[in-house]
Structure 1
Amino acid sequence: MGNLVAVEFMSLDGVMQSVLSADEDREGGFDQGGWVLPYVDEVVETFMSSATAGASAMLVGRKTYEIFAATWPHADPADPAVAAMNAMPKYVVSRTLGDDLGWANSLRLGPDLSAEVARIKSATEGDIVVLGSGELLRALVALDAVDEYRLLVFPLVLGRGKRLFDEETVPSRLSLVDTKTSTSGVLIATYRPVPPQ
């Protein structure tokens, strides 16, 4: 049975928008993109490489898929994370993309997200990683489908932008199972949902 793992960069105030590039996602007039890069150090790089290379599959939304598909197939295949990303099954949630996705081992899912996630979990051994994909991730949270959160919390406040947990999120409890701190001040916290009592 697969383990659905959300691996997310977020600011101290929960913003997860446009992490790597100024032009990644300017929706809503967001003009503070690229905020992760000044804090990337060896601890962050090692953690992300391990999370990626150690995954059995990836589940992403359309925007994240298009960003990744434009980059990862052309990256250095000698890098274990690159090789893993290109080889693993990639499940894409989109209402606009067709079935013929250009990146190897990519499959567009059907419209019933709950059923598709249950199918993927039952067919996968190991981690099914969700990277970025804010809209999809909020839908997965609403379905109570996330088994683990690996959150990289960066020491800055952005004040506005798309948040991982928005005002529509149903209250829930999480259990902290691991923490690491990078030399640049990034807190890497792993949480698992606590079943309701």
Structure 2
Amino acid sequence: MIQDITTSIRTIVVLWLLTALIYPLLIFVIGQGFFPAQANGSLVTNSQGQVIGSTLIGQAFSREDYFGSRPSAINYSIGEDAFPTGLSGATNLAPSNPELLELTQARAEILQAADIKPTADLLYSSGSGLDPHISPASAIAQIDRIAAARNLSADDLEILIKQNTEGRFLGIFGEPAVNTVTLNLALDQL
């Protein structure tokens, strides 16, 4: 019985060393050594070197001279009724829920008032509520508004959208998407 207890204790110590020390340290070294940008949050900086966001988390762009992002159920952590940064979540409203229909209709009216063709990703929030991506069609639908606000040509904005369009993951998964955070940063750099 003493031998069984000794074996159990040695096994616990070895497994603890592997899972609590060696594995996390190895992942940390690999992340910082080979993928430092991703391991540190995929942060985006402006021309002054200030961190202004992350390519992984959407932001609310409400000014007329920026491409609008997906709506968020958590308001991207801005305003009085928003949750603190880092929280995510969807509305959890069923498709048959009248609140979801009212919310969608209100978003559609806002888009139509701005002469933007409502698309699914400009009407509905993502499951996490933090998705920074919109479809290329949603970005193209906003070109006229931004061209007028920034006094730019529509052709220049189309080129900018194409330059900031991410393809399918591994060439087969998902759909092409435009990251509004990086697109608006590139727009500021024009």
Normalising by the residue count of structure 2, what TM-score does the alignment of the two structures yield? 0.29
Whose helix proportion is higher, 1 or 2? 2
Query: Is the radius of gyration larger for structure 1 or structure 2?
Result: 2
Normalising by the residue count of structure 1, what TM-score does the alignment of the two structures yield? 0.28
Whose strand proportion is higher, 1 or 2? 1
| Structure showing greater relative contact order (alpha-carbon pairs closer than 8 Å, 6 or more residues apart) | 1
